């Protein structure tokens, strides 16, 4: 049995009581403008394209909330107004490489949804968070609700389908007392996490003085989509599902590099796969699946599900180029009976995830597209009441993003796509940072879970 009384839970409880006594900080919107593509030569290939085709993976995202991610930075040198104007100017130049992000969704009545690249603009908001300091967010495990207001289109019910009228990309620069937060709301129809951070890094490169970006977006549709036939799916609001996030606690659990090494070794030692090793993320996901299931005190005969968002770029045959821009991911699922999940060792759950991911091949990815073209639909119900889901990836080099002010302090996300059991994995500065969303009473129980705290205590 794992110990249930640990000092970290006591400390977090005291912090929570102090926060109740303090007035909640507010965010003031200072300005909201539209940024358009800077004038380019007629020879610019992407600038001349008027229509951007969507794939099955893209159209399926029409009912999915926008991606809302951003980075916290120390205060830029010099006048902040000048830094913000420079951000706006560099965004205009960056859009020459990503002109589809300044477009809007449109419908071809003979086929389906596409992107009209007529440069209707990217929303650019400037705001101020009175009384919020970098230290309030950089070192805190608990993520305060004010962070949700650091993003434009902050309503978590905004979905891909709204891109017919709303910007496909919206940016907000929020001034803190001693820092700046740069947040983006990115229509998920336009791309997955890989594409989101591709754009974000490209923007930072231009802002910091580069004349070119390190990786141009490749937007040619994969051969599989040409082979499977044209998409014929005329969508309407009837196809959509809007989800309003319930009251949740959101906090980071930061696992050191040594903790991840120990966790991975433990999972492989307990149940080594026949081919290949259990990965760090598979071992961490297995740990959190067990700990959250235990925190929920589910009946032993109930079924619980663990989902992971995995990419298809390297699984396709031939694999897609590294710069491919768009969606190319799916969510795989593993089910287990609660009693067995908790009775077995960590390696048992990690092996189940490993085998499911290993079994997702080129044939699996191709089958999804082939069947989707025959019976198109949008994603509904990616979350389950007794389950967990891990999104994002520690592969993304988010701390390599530099607008000329140095590396970001921490990554934060908005209100969109948050529900009980949702987790986002990021490459931390010393290991893996895991953002976890849970109902408050489940989070309180999780903070006292001995198996979790044993790993968090490894420095």
Asked if residue 7 has pLDDT above 60, the reply is no
Residue in 108, 355, 402, 454 annotated catalytic: 402
d(CA 49, CA 44): 9
Given the DSSP bridges, would you call strands 113-116 and 51-52 parallel, antiparallel or unpaired? antiparallel
Please indicate, yes or no, whether the overall pTM of this predicted structure exceeds 0.95: no
Q: What mean pLDDT do residues 241-270 have?
A: 92
Q: What is the pLDDT of residue 14?
A: 37
Both tokens of residue 36? 């358009």
Using one digit for the tens of pLDDT, what is the confidence trace for 224-241? 888 888 899 988 888 898
Using one digit for the tens of pLDDT, what is the confidence trace for 292-329? 999 999 999 999 999 999 999 999 999 999 899 999 99
Using one digit for the tens of pLDDT, what is the confidence trace for 309-318? 999 999 999 9
380 is catalytic: no
CA atoms within 13 A on the CB side of 235: 27
Q: What is the pLDDT of residue 180?
A: 97
Q: Which domains does the chain have, with CATH numbers?
A: 23-239 (3.30.559.10), 243-456 (3.30.559.10)
| Banded pLDDT at 50 (limits 50, 70, 90) | confident
Q: What is the pLDDT of residue 275?
A: 57
Asked if residue 407 has pLDDT above 70, the reply is yes
CA atoms within 13 A on the CB side of 324: 22
Q: Give the residue among 90, 70, 171 at the shortest CA–CA distance from 398.
A: 70
What is the residue-averaged pLDDT of the chain?
90
Q: Give the residue among 272, 248, 410, 452 at the shortest CA–CA distance from 354.
A: 272
d(CA 76, CA 79): 8
Both tokens of residue 214? 């390190």
Q: What is the pLDDT of residue 23?
A: 63
Handedness of CA 193, 199, 204, 205 (dihedral sign): positive
In order of 4, 88, 148, the CA distances from 179 in angstroms are: 38, 18, 17
Using one digit for the tens of pLDDT, what is the confidence trace for 130-167? 999 999 998 778 999 999 999 999 877 899 999 999 99
199, 99 in Cβ contact below 8 A? no
288 three-class SS:
helix
What is the chain's alpha carbon radius of gyration, rounded to the nearest angstrom?
Answer: 22
Q: What mean pLDDT do residues 177-201 have?
A: 97
- Which is more confident, 175 or 242? 175
Q: What is the pLDDT of residue 6?
A: 33
Opening angle at CA 309, ends 305 and 312, nearest 5? 135
Residue in 188, 198, 225, 354 annotated catalytic: 188
Asked if residue 45 has pLDDT above 90, the reply is no
Specify burial of residue 77 (Cβ count, 10 A radius: 0-12, 13-18, 19+): exposed
| Banded pLDDT at 452 (limits 50, 70, 90) | very high
Opening angle at CA 343, ends 386 and 443, nearest 5? 40
Q: What is the pLDDT of residue 239?
A: 86
**Looking at residue 65, what DSSP letter applies?**
B
Asked if residue 5 has pLDDT above 50, the reply is no
Asked if residue 406 has pLDDT above 80, the reply is yes
440, 249 in Cβ contact below 8 A? yes
36, 95 in Cβ contact below 8 A? yes
178 is catalytic: no
Contacts of 234 (CB under 8 A, 6+ apart): 107, 109, 112
Handedness of CA 35, 94, 66, 111 (dihedral sign): positive
Asked if residue 4 has pLDDT above 80, the reply is no
């Amino acid at each position: 049995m794992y110990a249930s009384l640990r000092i970290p839970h006591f400390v977090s409880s005291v912090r929570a009581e102090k926060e109740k006594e303090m007035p909640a900080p507010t965010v003031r919107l200072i300005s909201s403008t539209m940024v358009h593509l800077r004038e380019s030569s007629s020879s610019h290939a992407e600038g001349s394209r008027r229509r951007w085709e969507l794939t099955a993976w893209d159209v399926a995202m029409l009912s999915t909330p926008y991606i809302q991610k951003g980075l916290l930075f120390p205060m830029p040198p010099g006048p902040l107004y000048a830094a913000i104007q420079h951000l706006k100017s560099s965004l205009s130049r960056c859009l020459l490489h990503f002109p589809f992000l300044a477009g809007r969704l449109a419908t071809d009545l003979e086929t389906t949804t596409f992107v009209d690249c007529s440069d209707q603009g990217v929303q650019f908001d400037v705001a101020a968070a009175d009384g919020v300091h970098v230290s309030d967010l950089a070192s805190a495990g608990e993520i305060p609700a004010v962070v949700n207001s650091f993003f434009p289109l902050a309503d978590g019910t905004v979905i891909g389908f709204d891109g017919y009228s709303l910007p496909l990309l919206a940016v907000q620069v929020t001034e803190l007392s001693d820092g700046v937060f740069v947040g983006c709301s990115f229509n998920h129809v336009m791309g997955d996490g890989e594409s989101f951070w591709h754009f974000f890094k490209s923007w930072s490169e231009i802002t910091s003085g580069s004349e070119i970006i390190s990786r141009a977006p490749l937007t040619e549709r994969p051969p599989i989509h040409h082979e499977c036939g044209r998409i014929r799916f005329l969508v309407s609001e009837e196809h959509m599902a809007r989800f309003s996030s319930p009251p949740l606690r959101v906090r980071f659990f930061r696992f050191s590099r040594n903790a991840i090494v120990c966790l991975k070794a433990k999972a492989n030692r307990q149940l080594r796969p026949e081919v290949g090793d259990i990965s760090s993320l598979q071992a961490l996901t297995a740990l959190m699946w067990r700990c959250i299931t235990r925190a929920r005190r589910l009946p032993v005969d109930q079924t619980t599900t663990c989902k992971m968002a995995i990419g298809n770029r390297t699984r396709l045959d031939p694999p897609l180029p590294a710069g491919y821009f768009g969606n190319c991911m799916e969510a795989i699922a593993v089910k287990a009976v609660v009693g067995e999940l908790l009775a077995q060792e960590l390696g048992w759950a990690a092996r189940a995830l490993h085998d499911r991911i290993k079994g997702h091949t080129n044939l699996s990815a191709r089958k999804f597209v082939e069947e989707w073209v025959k019976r198109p639909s949008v994603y509904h119900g990616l979350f389950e009441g007794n389950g967990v889901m891990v999104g994002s990836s520690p592969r993304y080099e988010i701390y390599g993003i530099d607008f000329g002010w140095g590396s970001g302090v921490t990554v934060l996300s908005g209100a969109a796509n948050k529900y009980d059991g949702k987790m986002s994995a990021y490459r931390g500065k010393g290991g893996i940072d895991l953002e976890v969303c849970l109902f408050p009473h489940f989070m309180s129980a999780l903070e006292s879970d001995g198996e979790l705290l044993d790993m968090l205590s490894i420095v």
